[in-house]
Amino acid sequence: MSPLITAADLAEALGGVTVLDVRWRLGGPPGPSEYALGHIPGAVYCDLDTALAAPAGSGGRHPLPSAAAFEASMRSLGVSGNRPVVVYDDWNALAAARAWWCLRYFGHGDVRVLDGGLKAWTGELSKDAPDVTPGDFTARPGGMPLITAAQAAILADDGVLLDARAPERYRGEVEPVDPVAGHIPGAVNAPTTENLEPGGRFHRPEFLRERFNTLGVVEGVPVGAYCGSGVTAAHEVLALESAGITASLYAGSWSEWITGPGRPVERS
């Protein structure tokens, strides 16, 4: 099953799926206020910072939440294990991809991202917050491959480690967020912007497969992705999944990598 869903298919599925509005973007505007102005009918707001991440620290700016914390958050949003989930945002699926990945990692088997995000939705929007019946989702870690900093370093040598950030951040020319600029030695730059068509929808699977093939992602070669804090990299993993390629996520990403004493930094 594709990890993506069209707006037309979502419109037909409303009432039979749990819809999470994951609007969030670095630097704002605040997601809750955007949600209050209008959202897909029945959608429940999911906050990336509190529901999809633990507090920032040595694990990076957006470390993964514990299984217990994630389970509690999802249940409070009405997520159940036997009910499909659709997630969306208005930021080129970057935040939605994080929700998709977290749900998949913690064991939910039927999660899809609205292709094209909120701007692809042609139906009416609602300002009403729905009454939420608590869900019964049980978090079981391990549903998606996850790698540590040490494993990411090995993957950069023995496989393909994709850096999902903008080229100038990868090269170390600018770093607007983290205190150190550069990238993990051996990583290959693969900006997430190139996963999308001009209108904001994902490229077709055949296009994505060809794109990743040119970056060294071929059959039999392990692949992983990282970014600044593990949010954008989830978008890379989603694009790879859409192309039929399974990839690992380095959740701590660059913001964790630079906290480790002695970890090398490359600029080019």
Digits of tens for pLDDT over the chain (268 positions)? 899 999 999 999 999 999 999 999 888 888 999 999 999 999 999 999 999 999 999 999 999 999 999 999 999 999 999 999 999 999 999 999 999 999 999 999 999 999 999 999 999 999 999 999 999 999 999 999 999 999 999 999 999 999 999 999 999 999 999 999 999 999 999 999 999 999 999 999 999 999 999 999 999 999 999 999 999 999 999 999 999 999 999 999 999 999 999 999 999 8
Domain match, 116 and 27 both: yes
Model pLDDT for residues 41-81, shown as the tens digit of each residue: 999 999 999 999 999 999 999 999 999 999 999 999 999 99
Has this prediction a pTM greater than 0.95?
Answer: yes
Evaluate whether residue 66 is within a structural domain. Answer: yes
Tokens representing 82 are 């036997």
Residue 228 lies in a domain: yes
Whether residue 114 is found in the same domain as residue 34: yes
Residue 227 domain flag: yes
Same-domain status, 174 and 252: yes
Return all residues near 243 (Cβ < 8 A) that are at least 6 apart: 205, 206, 208, 209, 212
Looking at the structure, tell me whether residues 159 and 253 fall in a common domain: yes
The number of domains in the chain is 2
Q: Where are the beta strands (DSSP E) in the chain?
A: 4-5, 18-21, 44-45, 85-88, 111-114, 160-163, 188-189, 223-226, 248-249
Domain membership of residue 263 (yes or no) is no
**Structural domain for 63, as ranges:** 4-120
Residue 135 domain flag: no
Predicted pLDDT of residue 256: 98
Q: Is residue 193 part of a domain?
A: yes
75 secondary structure, DSSP code: H
Identify the three-state secondary structure at position 176. Answer: coil
Helix, strand or coil, per DSSP, at residue 223: strand
245 and 190, same domain (yes or no): yes
Alpha-carbon separation of residue 122 from 11, 36, 41, 94, 217 (angstroms): 9, 18, 12, 21, 36
Q: Are residues 246 and 194 in the same domain?
A: yes
Same domain, residue pair 10 and 109: yes
My answer on whether 114 and 164 are in the same domain is no
pLDDT at 175: 97
Answer whether residue 224 is part of any domain.
yes
For residues 162 and 208, membership in a common domain is answered with yes
The answer to the question of residue 32 being in a domain is yes
CATH number for the domain spanning 77: value is 3.40.250.10
> Quick one: 113 and 182 in the same domain?
no
Residues identified as active-site: 227
Domain boundary among 120, 141, 176: 120
